Amino acid sequence: MSAPVTCQPCAASQVASAPVPHPASSAVPGASPLVSRMRCGFGAALDELVDAPPTGDPRLNLRPVAGPDGSTILPLTRRPGGIQAYKFILPKGRDGQEPQLRTHEGYDCAYVLNGTLRLVLGEHDLILRPGEAVEFDTRTPHWLGATSAGPVEFLSLIGKQGQRTHVRAAPKRDS
């Protein structure tokens, strides 16, 4: 096993008689010099050192996935089958952009949290705002993206084998 790589300030503090302030301690608010030196000594990010241990199925990774277009997808469910929940964060779009429609097996229910979501669904071009939702069969050609108004955040429940979300209405109360 090779020795951990030590950054320049940490190496200097090992040689100097007085402690050398570590530049990383100012980059991480509230981080102590000891934690900053540990980050360098282990060659790890702060969240890797202090993050909670993994739980559940080790084959499932609930860490955010960054897309090449600046998008972020956060898986929100741990179970391997059934309806899967995701949070999507899409960067500001271009209104003149020609969307590339796609199809796949499944059913999608999306709910807009922030921003404006553009959904092209077959021949329909829809604009959804915070608090609005849509549900559709993903075998219909579709595309989801942000508008030029700014980024968009939305939740998506996807049933990859065609499972649909079930909405229950509250029973009528007797007056």
pLDDT of residue 118: 96
Distances (CA, A) of 99 to 12, 13, 51, 123, 145: 54, 55, 38, 12, 8
Q: What does the pLDDT look like over 84-111, one tens digit per residue?
A: 999 999 999 988 878 999 999 999 999 9
Instruction: Please give the residue range of the domain that contains residue 46.
Output: 8-50
Q: Are residues 113 and 83 in the same domain?
A: yes
Q: Are residues 96 and 137 in the same domain?
A: yes
DSSP string, 59-106: T---S-EE-TTS-EEEE----SSSEEEEEEEE----TT-----B--SS
Q: What does the pLDDT look like over 135-172, one tens digit per residue?
A: 999 999 999 999 999 999 999 999 876 566 656 666 77
Inform me whether the pLDDT recorded for 24 exceeds 60: no
Q: Are residues 82 and 114 in the same domain?
A: yes
Residue 112: in which H helix or E strand, if any? strand 107-114
In the structure, what pLDDT confidence band is assigned to residue 79 with cuts at 50, 70 and 90?
confident
Q: Are residues 92 and 131 in the same domain?
A: yes
Q: With H, G, I as helix, E, B as strand and everything else as coil, classify residue 142.
A: strand
How far apart are the C-alpha atoms of 131 and 42, rounded to whole Å? 44
Q: Are residues 14 and 85 in the same domain?
A: no
